[in-house]
């Protein structure tokens, strides 16, 4: 394949006498004369041994490279970072989690931009890998495909990572013994792959597939499986076709494609993090997407999947009945998806779904439209005098649709967890965890430890929790996050006091502090912004550049 049009970028560093030094270095990295005539495909691997989500991705990257080479391209593997939410959860280290999304995006843009790759295939396996990969590829806007690393197998007795977090709360309440806690700890995570419920990893993988940026079924494959290996091989052939046809992320990641992604996330009962990440991904490709789009789409799309954390089943069980492709076919036939959107197959979404078989009779994971889990979205965008710029709630209906209670205020996740485990938090409380926003934490930690402790202590129906931080996809209960403006920016969440009354109303989509406007103004006038918690390093840089959670917490919006 010698057509220079197919080497739009790589020819800039490989062709001509003046680029002999570039070729010399590439020869040392394994290039032959023939390789210089092929399109170069950067294979961005998030392999790392810091987490089971990504510890197998080096082998997947090798399969992708082989697929590219067999299809007539030249694959070039490089690495970007990953961190583990699950391991760092509830610690100071978790502040780096959302920050890592930007580091991943920056590194993919930097490497493939610098090395003049003609196309990019990225492979992600943990929460921030996926939007990070997508943002990096979108910024460069060269033919691109995302591959999901795949989901983990269930642990013993149908357990997963959330089982361990909730067992900690059960241990505090006396319902889980030392031995039982250790047994769950030892068996809940059996090997490689992303966390097993419809948590953030599986949510984002599904959203990206629905958007058309992954090959069909990429989001619904076990991490260690022949199907996942074949997904990687097929990506090589697909990327070469995208190069030939010059199909780029901007052709695929349209407003309609983002609406398809939101629709599928809602139908699956996916993570609140999808709101944050989809808005950020849209920003990276110059598509206008905001909180109101989630409200608009959520009014007509039901929750159909009985998946954890609020449901019963794991992703591995959804895979066994066909994954998300039959669900997408259901949504398309119902008129809830735009079938004209182009995808990385080079075909439209409707064409990809044309021959998809329905779910088997008798399966109970995906409900019919006439028997939904919830008739509209579980992702409820709320506003009110407590969140004038918006907040994101995850309300399945199982925890009720409204809650009024007494504020119990904590200035960090650690403070709140201690209050839950030692019995300070009681029935009727609305936990307020503040100064955990993008700027204030900095880094907008996930409140999985507190929400899991609440569930483990049996308070899931008895208390609510609001925060300017965010939630793990594994969180459930009456929870509201992404409260904006955040406390560090002087939002009303900063001036709540213990004993104040708060109402969360999912039907009215309101979150209200029961104070007069005059009282709120007086408290805000008396409030003083705290000193930054970090004054140098990546967290300090992030705090200086990050936008509001309602704007996706991106770091290049106001440059």
State the catalytic residues.
Answer: 472
Please state, in angstroms and rounded to a whole number, the distance separating the CA atoms of residues 447 and 417: 9
Please state, in angstroms and rounded to a whole number, the distance separating the CA atoms of residues 338 and 349: 8
- Report the C-alpha dihedral over residues 173, 165, 412, 388, rounded to 10 degrees: -110
Contacts 24+ apart (CB under 8 A), 295-298: 295/381, 295/509, 297/259, 297/262, 297/263, 297/266, 297/377, 298/262, 298/266, 298/376, 298/377, 298/379, 298/380, 298/381
Instruction: Find out whether 42 and 10 touch, Cβ atoms under 8 Å.
Output: no
Instruction: Find out whether 455 and 289 touch, Cβ atoms under 8 Å.
Output: no
Q: Which helix (H) or strand (E) holds 203?
A: helix 200-211
Contacts 24+ apart (CB under 8 A), 374-378: 374/302, 374/303, 375/302, 376/298, 376/299, 376/300, 376/301, 376/302, 376/303, 377/266, 377/294, 377/297, 377/298, 377/299, 377/301, 377/303, 378/266, 378/269, 378/303, 378/310
Block residue for tokens 């691109």 = 144
Please state, in angstroms and rounded to a whole number, the distance separating the CA atoms of residues 233 and 214: 13
Q: Which two tokens stand for residue 155?
A: 């642990």
Please state, in angstroms and rounded to a whole number, the distance separating the CA atoms of residues 11 and 213: 26
* Of 549, 385, 533, residue with least CA distance to 470: 549
SS3 content of the chain, % helix, strand, coil (to 5): 40, 15, 45
What are the residues whose beta carbons fall under 8 Å from the beta carbon of 296, sequence distance 6 or more?
Answer: none
């Amino acid at each position: 394949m010698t057509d220079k049009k197919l080497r739009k970028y790589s020819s800039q560093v490989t062709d001509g006498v003046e680029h002999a030094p570039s070729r010399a270095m590439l020869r040392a990295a394994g290039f032959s004369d023939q390789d210089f005539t092929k399109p170069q495909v950067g294979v961005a691997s998030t392999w790392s041994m810091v987490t089971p989500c990504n510890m197998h991705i080096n082998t997947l990257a090798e399969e992708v490279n082989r697929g590219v080479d067999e299809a007539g391209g030249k694959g070039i593997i490089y690495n970007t970072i990953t961190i583990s939410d699950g391991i760092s959860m509830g610690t100071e280290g978790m502040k780096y989690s959302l920050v890592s999304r930007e580091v991943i995006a920056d590194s993919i843009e930097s490497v493939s931009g610098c090395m003049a790759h003609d196309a990019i295939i990225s492979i992600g396996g943990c929460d921030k890998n996926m939007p990070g990969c997508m943002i990096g590829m979108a910024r460069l806007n060269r033919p691109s495909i995302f591959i999901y690393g795949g989901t983990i197998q269930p642990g013993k007795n149908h357990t997963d990572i959330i089982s361990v977090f909730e067992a900690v709360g059960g241990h505090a309440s006396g319902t889980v013994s030392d031995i039982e806690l250790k047994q769950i700890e030892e068996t809940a995570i059996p090997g490689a792959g992303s966390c097993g419920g419809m948590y953030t990893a599986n949510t984002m993988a599904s959203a990206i597939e629905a958007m058309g940026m992954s090959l069909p079924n990429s989001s619904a494959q076990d991490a260690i499986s022949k199907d996942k290996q074949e997904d990687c091989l097929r990506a090589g052939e697909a990327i070469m076709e995208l190069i030939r046809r010059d199909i780029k992320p901007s052709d695929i990641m349209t407003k309609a494609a983002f609406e398809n992604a939101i629709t599928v996330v809602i139908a699956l009962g996916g993570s609140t993090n999808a709101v944050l990440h989809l808005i950020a991904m849209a920003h990276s490709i110059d598509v206008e997407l905001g909180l109101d789009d989630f409200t608009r789409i959520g009014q007509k799309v039901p929750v159909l999947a009985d998946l954890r954390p609020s449901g019963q089943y794991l992703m591995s069980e959804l895979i066994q009945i066909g994954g998300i492709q039959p669900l997408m076919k259901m949504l398309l036939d119902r008129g809830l998806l735009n079938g004209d959107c182009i995808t990385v197959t080079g075909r439209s979404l409707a064409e990809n779904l044309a021959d998809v078989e329905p779910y088997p009779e008798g399966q109970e994971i995906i409900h019919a439209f006439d028997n939904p889990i919830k008739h509209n979205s579980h992702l409820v965008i709320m506003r009110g005098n407590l969140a004038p710029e918006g907040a994101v709630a995850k309300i399945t209906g199982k925890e009720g649709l409204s809650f009024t209670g007494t504020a119990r205020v904590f200035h960090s996740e650690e403070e709140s967890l201690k209050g839950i485990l030692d019995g300070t938090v009681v029935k009727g409380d609305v936990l307020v965890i503040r100064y955990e926003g993008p700027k204030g934490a900095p880094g907008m930690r996930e409140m999985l430890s507190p929400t899991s402790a609440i569930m483990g202590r049996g308070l899931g129906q008895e208390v609510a929790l609001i925060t300017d931080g965010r939630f793990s996809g594994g969180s459930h209960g009456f929870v509201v996050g992404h409260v904006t403006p955040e406390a560090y920016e002087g939002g009303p969440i900063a001036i709540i006091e213990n004993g104040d009354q708060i109402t969360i109303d999912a039907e009215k989509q309101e979150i209200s502090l029961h104070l007069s406007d005059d009282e709120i103004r007086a408290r805000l006038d008396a409030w003083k912004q705290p000193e930054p918690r970090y004054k140098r390093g990546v967290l300090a840089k992030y705090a200086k550049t990050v936008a509001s959670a309602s704007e996706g917490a991106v770091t290049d919006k106001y440059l």
